[in-house]
Amino acid sequence: MPAVYALPRNHLRACLALLVAEGPAHGYELLDRLAALGLAGADCGAVYKTLRSMEADDHVASAWAPSSSGPARRTYRITGPGRAWLGRSAVAVAVQRDAVGAYLDRHLHLVAGRRCA
């Protein structure tokens, strides 16, 4: 059985905010682009639930846009409050990165010490 690793709370939300801040996008496009942020195979239902929550919090806004290859699609864009939240989120992610880096540095030192003994 493969190991299951938990991501920080709100990580999907932070990734979606970042992607929408890069430019308006529809849900399936966001699903595809999440892979570049380490979320390949993200649950479609979770993505849309998170987008709805973000819209309820005024972090994104959506509108129906026509599509050249099928029915109209709901396209999401970042809002002013969403940009502010994204900035705070980036600070939180940086703190998490530093904490994980410190842990990994110590673990590497521990493992290296055992090999030398």
**pLDDT tens, the chain, 117 aa long:** 455 677 777 899 999 999 999 999 999 999 999 999 999 989 999 999 999 999 999 999 999 988 888 888 999 999 999 999 999 999 999 999 999 999 999 999 998 886 544
Is 27 domain-assigned?
yes
Is 6 domain-assigned?
no
pLDDT for 115 equals 52
Report the CATH number at residue 42.
1.10.10.10
| Count of domains forming the chain | 1
Is 18 domain-assigned?
yes
Is 4 domain-assigned?
no
Is 15 domain-assigned?
yes
pLDDT for 117 equals 41
Q: Which residue range forms the structural domain that includes residue 73?
A: 11-116
Is 1 domain-assigned?
no
Is 99 domain-assigned?
yes
Is 52 domain-assigned?
yes
CB 75 within 8 A of CB 24: yes
**What is the rounded CA–CA span in Å between residue 34 and residue 39?**
5
pLDDT for 116 equals 44
Q: For residue 15, what are the contacts with CB-CB under 8 A and spacing of at least 6?
A: 34, 37, 39
Measure Cα distances from 96 to 9, 18, 84 in Å. 11, 17, 19
CB 14 within 8 A of CB 47: no
